[in-house]
Every structure is written in structure tokens, then in C-alpha cells.
Amino acid sequence: MTRKKMPPTVSFLKYLGLLSFIIGIVLTYISVKSYSLTVEYLQYFPSWFSWDLKPVIQEGSIFSAVFFAIAYLSSSLLYRFLPVESRNMSDNLMIKKIESESGEKYKEKNFSKNEQKFAEIIHEKLDSLSKQLDGARHDLFNLMLDINGIHSADDAQKSLDSLEKSIAIIKDLKKLKVDGK
């Protein structure tokens, strides 16, 4: 398992969301406590710091709501900016490479690369299948021309071998998966 560096936007949104959420919780705690313990609470802060914190304590619920909203927006945007491949679609942990490109461009490039690889494999398999079937047909034709000839047994065996190889290739094609698809 390798962990790749995330793009700066994703990292920024992740830390912004986390920080906003923590600040939201702290402000909620302060606003709840401030109704009853404002005086006691402020005595723990230095005078220069408590002056800045007063409006926060007084309007604590509004600020906490704002920070929770920022956290929510950050997480929503984070999910949008994450490439599809890095999302965990199964039960297993799956971390894949995230390139420093835009999401659409990355997806397009990755898709065409996979598609090209898939097409190459399919072409190779189909060429091989075509050769095997042609060989089977050729040997069977020779068998048909002279069924009691000196080569008949060999032709029949070669034709069957080619057909079995063809079946194996078709089974391989059925099993073929690219990136789990």
C-alpha cells in the first residue's frame, strides 16, 4: 500500500473543514457556558486576549454556526474535488494515485489509458482466437478431403487441439477484467 501526496486544494479543504469543525465545537461550548459562567470564564484569559474574545463569547452561537457551515461546505467541496478512484467503493482500504491535474482531465486521461490497455488485450486475444479457429477449420477441411488418408488422425487431433485452445481463449476473454471492471 502506498500513500500518495494529495493535491493542494484537497489538503486545504480537509484542514479547513477540520479546523472549522473544532472551532465550531469550542464556540458552542463557550456560548453554552457563557450564560452562566461568563465572569469565571473570562478570568482565565489575559486582559488583552479577553477583550478580543468578548464578542465571540457574546455572539458565540452565531460564530459556531458559521464555523459549522464552513466545515460542512469544506467537506462537501472536498468530496467533489476528490478523484473517483481515490474514493473507497468497497470494504477494503483502497488508496490510489491522485495526480495534480483537474478532476475531469485526470478521469479522462485515466479512462482512455485503461481503455487503450483493454483494447490491446482484446485485440491480442481475438487475433489468437482467429488463428486457432482458422487452423481448426484448415485441419478439418483436410480431414474431410481424405478421411481415410495417412494424415487423417493427425488432422483430427490438430483440429481438436485448435478448438480447445479457442475455447480457452474465449474463457480468458470472459474472465478479462481491467481495474476490477
145 near other proteins, rule: CB under 8 A: yes
Q: Looking at 67-75, 99-107, 125-133, 134-142, which segment touches other proteins (CB under 8 A)? A: 134-142
131 near other proteins, rule: CB under 8 A: no
Nearer to other proteins (CB atom), residue 55 or residue 149: 149
Nearest distance from C-beta of residue 174 to other proteins, angstroms: 28
Q: Of these, 112, 149, 153, 172, which contacts other proteins (CB under 8 A)?
A: 149
Residue matched to cell numbers 482565565: 44
Using CA atoms, how far apart are residues 43 and 39, in angstroms rounded to an integer?
Answer: 7
151 near other proteins, rule: CB under 8 A: yes
Cα of 85 vs its chain's centroid, Å: 2
Burial class of residue 39 (count of CB atoms within 10 Å of its CB; 0-12, 13-18, 19+): exposed
Q: Is 7 helix (H, G, I), strand (E, B) or coil?
A: coil
Nearer to other proteins (CB atom), residue 93 or residue 150: 150
127 near other proteins, rule: CB under 8 A: no
Q: What's at 23, amino acid-wise? A: I
179 near other proteins, rule: CB under 8 A: no
Q: Of these, 105, 137, 154, 157, which contacts other proteins (CB under 8 A)?
A: 137
Nearer to other proteins (CB atom), residue 33 or residue 138: 138
Q: Which of 10, 22, 12 is nearest to 78 (CA)?
A: 10
99 near other proteins, rule: CB under 8 A: no
Opening angle at CA 99, ends 96 and 101, nearest 5:
140
Residue matched to cell numbers 489468437: 128
150 near other proteins, rule: CB under 8 A: yes
Q: What's at 47, amino acid-wise? A: S
Using CB under 8 A as the criterion, which residues of the chain lie in contact with other proteins when the complex forms?
Answer: 137-138, 141-142, 145-146, 149-151
